[in-house]
Amino acid sequence: MQDTSRVAIIGGGIIGCLTGWFLREAGFAGAITIIERDPTYRFSSTALSAASIRTQFACPVNVSLSLFGSEFLRSIQNRLDPEADIGLVQNGYLILASAPSAEMRRAALAMQQSLGAKVVALDRADLATRFPWLNSEQVELATLGTADEGWFDAWALLQAARRAALRRDVAIIQAEASGFETDGGRIEGVRMADGSSLQADWCVNAAGPLSGKVARWLGIALPVAPKKRTVFHFRAPLSGKDMPMLFDISGAWMRPEGEGFIGGIQPAADADPDAGEDFEPDHYLFEDRVWPLLAARVPALEQIRLLNAWAGHYEMNLFDHNGVVGPHPDLPNFLFATGFSGHGIMHAPGVARAIAEHVVHGRYTSIDVGPLGFGRIAADRPMPESAIY
């Protein structure tokens, strides 16, 4: 019998494209339509991200999602496209902690290891031997991922996911969603800005930084807002060949990129408004914070040449900095796949697979993403993810 059910996915970034693809993998035979307003992806978070993956998180579900994300990226040619070349570099993350946070970080390390993450603790002597370019002052604990962590080309990943979805008969239409048609406790369709509409039995909110706005069309207070993050690209007299992604105690980060490096830092809380449509890099952050903080940690950066900078939007979950995944409790065919607060690409494979499992089997059959459900927001029970950058 022909499957007549229909899934509409708002947002054709990495979450939307992989959700379409995983629905087919899970055996969904009905119609799948991804609604994407801008096929150039000029402002999409996926295209503007730092495209890195780590297993070092404070919440177990995030570690599990990253382990699957890593497996997915490593096997991308078998899974998505034999031609896919995402330039995966597996140099790990080196995360530094000072005395006040070391205890918490040790507990997180034990949890990560118990789930199979290959993360080791290093002391100052280890740091001096392995990373002689690093100043280890005030470092109480350093943790290094020895597998399943690194970085890749997000644009290449997005294009591979998009092509793979199209090949599996997932339609990607250029349109701007602007509202919903509902009937009691169900979504019946998605309305477009051009006046047309798309009937749907399931609707996935994968609109990234704009997903809070999409939820508001239904009167749902999803605490996800766009927050601007600036990435600086620079050169320095230092080889990045074996260098991991470095997260300093100060919150500044850097990693190799091509012949140079990229790096950044979160703006101060009182200088971090809802980004609206502002994609202008915060240039002041480089001179004021990123450069001095990184140069104190990596002395070779005292001589630095800034090449360029860009800014993108995090889909920031203001409630607890964790993803929001799965159905709305009162609107069961409206599914969230958003709120990842800076770690949405690495978790896209696991989240997309979970959404597909929910649609096809009515439950999560691999990673239980239940802890990321909207229920915690409705019940005002945050599950904070402290390892965000």
Ligand X SMILES: Cc1cc2nc3c(=O)[nH]c(=O)nc-3n(C[C@H](O)[C@H](O)[C@H](O)COP(=O)(O)OP(=O)(O)OC[C@H]3O[C@@H](n4cnc5c(N)ncnc54)[C@H](O)[C@@H]3O)c2cc1C
Q: Which residues contact 300 (CB under 8 A, 6 or more apart)?
A: 133, 236, 237, 238
Minimum CB distance to ligand X smaller for 140 or for 264: 264
DSSP 213-254: HHHHTTT----EEEEEEEEEEEE-SS--TTPPEEE-TTS-EE
Least CB distance to ligand X at residue 95 (A): 13
The gap between the terminal CA atoms of the chain, to the nearest Å, is 49
Which residues within the stretch 141-200 sit at the binding site for ligand X (CB under 6 A)?
176-177
Q: How far apart are CA 320 and CA 324, in angstroms?
A: 10
Here's the x/- map for ligand X, 329-368, by CB under 6 A: it reads as: ---------x-x-xxxxx----------------------
Q: How far apart are CA 315 and CA 211, in angstroms?
A: 8
Minimum CB distance to ligand X smaller for 42 or for 241: 42
265-to-163, 246, 388 alpha-carbon distances in Å: 33, 12, 11
Q: How far apart are CA 236 and CA 275, in angstroms?
A: 31
Sign of the alpha-carbon dihedral angle for 31, 37, 40, 41: negative
Minimum CB distance to ligand X smaller for 142 or for 231: 231
Q: Which stretch binds ligand X (CB under 6 A): 9-17, 105-113, 138-146, 233-241?
A: 9-17
366-to-66, 86, 199, 346, 363 alpha-carbon distances in Å: 13, 25, 29, 17, 9
Are 325 and 373 a contacting pair, CB within 8 Å?
yes
Residue nearest to ligand X (CB): 344
Selected binder of ligand X within 8, 207, 309, 352 (CB under 6 A): 207
Minimum CB distance to ligand X smaller for 322 or for 333: 322
Q: Which stretch binds ligand X (CB under 6 A): 48-56, 73-81, 82-90, 289-297?
A: 48-56
Selected binder of ligand X within 93, 247, 286, 314 (CB under 6 A): 314
Selected binder of ligand X within 7, 8, 9, 11 (CB under 6 A): 11
Q: How far apart are CA 311 and CA 228, in angstroms?
A: 6
What residue type is assigned to position 214 of the chain? V
Selected binder of ligand X within 79, 162, 229, 353 (CB under 6 A): 229
Backbone angles phi, psi at 18, to 5 degrees: -70, -30
Here's the x/- map for ligand X, 280-299, by CB under 6 A: it reads as: --------------------
Total of chain residues touching ligand X, rule CB under 6 A: 40
Site for ligand X contains 236 (CB under 6 A): no
What residue type is assigned to position 370 of the chain? G
Q: How far apart are CA 309 and CA 291, in angstroms?
A: 13
Site for ligand X contains 256 (CB under 6 A): no
Least CB distance to ligand X at residue 24 (A): 18
Which residues within the stretch 12-41 sit at the binding site for ligand X (CB under 6 A)?
12-16, 35-38, 41
Minimum CB distance to ligand X smaller for 62 or for 333: 62
Q: Which stretch binds ligand X (CB under 6 A): 49-57, 127-135, 274-282, 356-364?
A: 49-57
Residues that bind ligand X (CB under 6 A): 10-16, 35-38, 41, 44-46, 48-52, 176-177, 206-210, 229, 231, 312-315, 338, 340, 342-346
